[in-house]
Amino acid sequence: MEQVADCPPRLREAMAYSLLAGGKRLRPVLVLLACDACGGDWKHAMPAACAMEMIHTYSLVHDDLPAMDDDDLRRGRPTNHVVFGEAQAILAGDGLLTLAFEVLAKAAVPAEVTVACCADLANAAGWVGMVGGQVADLEAEGATELALQDLEAIHRRKTGRLLNSSLTMGARVAQADADRLKRLSEYGRCLGLAFQITDDLLDVRGDAEAMGKAVRKDATHGKLTYPALLGEEASLQKARDLIAEASDWIKPFGERGRHLDAMARFVLERDH
């Protein structure tokens, strides 16, 4: 952030406020772990990891806005629009979104890897991915006739595609073959759905202080969630099954995949 000398100070402050606020850093860590699992140097994947965190943070800034989820707390402190105002928060999100692709484009990796990663991230974050999933999620609020496959379709886009892109970008930096890309993509599919299920469960069972954000808001907003559709215990069992499947997909990575396996267990057992 310090290198963006021409950025208006207030905008840079708003961007840094959310980007440097902490959090699990799950998505950028997955970029690095995937690169390492494929035999690459994780340091070469750092620009992709940073770009991924910028995209994720921009999405949180915009999701918290009154027009969206209308949240006042994120990562244990006031949300961006509460501190800087709605207009500045929108622009801070826009700034993080575009800076992500600038950072990715300037990475010291082969040009074909840069192009593939940019396309991968844009597809995951855009209208067929995260943005499209968010639209579908908003449209589903208050719905009473949606089935499990509808809910999974929403979250494969809203949550899963970005998690999946974290893994495939890391693999691309390591110049992994098609089989490894496929295995990491399937691992990411399972991990993304399991992450969303545990997120839904934490909204019901979680503690606001540990979560760093308000809980029990899904029911208030009439959101379709896994616990509402399946019940809490069945939702937890589905998450367990998905994590077991995720682990199976990365078994051929052997010792190099141990950190990805540990990450899958963290997603299932997390309390925030």
DSSP secondary structure, 215-264, as one string: -S-TTTTT---HHHHH-HHHHHHHHHHHHHHHHHHTGGGGGGGHHHHHHH
- Measured distance CA(272)–CA(270) in Å, rounded: 6
Q: How far is CA 75 from CA 146, 247, 256, in A?
A: 31, 29, 31
The pLDDT, as a whole number, for residue 1 is: 44
For the chain, the structural domain boundaries read 10-269
The pLDDT, as a whole number, for residue 140 is: 86
Q: Which fold has domain 10-269?
A: Farnesyl Diphosphate Synthase (1.10.600)
The pLDDT, as a whole number, for residue 141 is: 81
Please state whether the predicted TM-score (pTM) of the whole model is above 0.85. yes
Q: How confident is the model at residue 146 (pLDDT cuts 50, 70, 90)?
A: confident
Average pLDDT of the segment spanning 54-77: 95
Identity of the amino acid at 84 = F
- Measured distance CA(51)–CA(169) in Å, rounded: 11
Tens digits of per-residue pLDDT, 102-130? Answer: 999 999 999 999 999 999 999 999 999 99
Cβ neighbours, 10 Å, residue 91: 18
The pLDDT, as a whole number, for residue 240 is: 97
Nearest to 51 by CA among 119, 13, 98, 14: 98
Q: What is the mean pLDDT of the chain?
A: 92
Determine the distance from the C-alpha atom of residue 133 to the mean position of all C-alpha atoms in its chain, rounded to a whole number: 12
Q: Bridge-partner residues for 74, per DSSP? A: 77
Least confident of 68-77, 107-116, 166-175: 68-77
E-state strands within 106-156:
none
Nearest-5° angle of CA 266, CA 45, CA 181? 70
Is the confidence at residue 212, as pLDDT, over 70? no
Average pLDDT of the segment spanning 25-49: 97
- Measured distance CA(57)–CA(89) in Å, rounded: 11
The pLDDT, as a whole number, for residue 271 is: 82
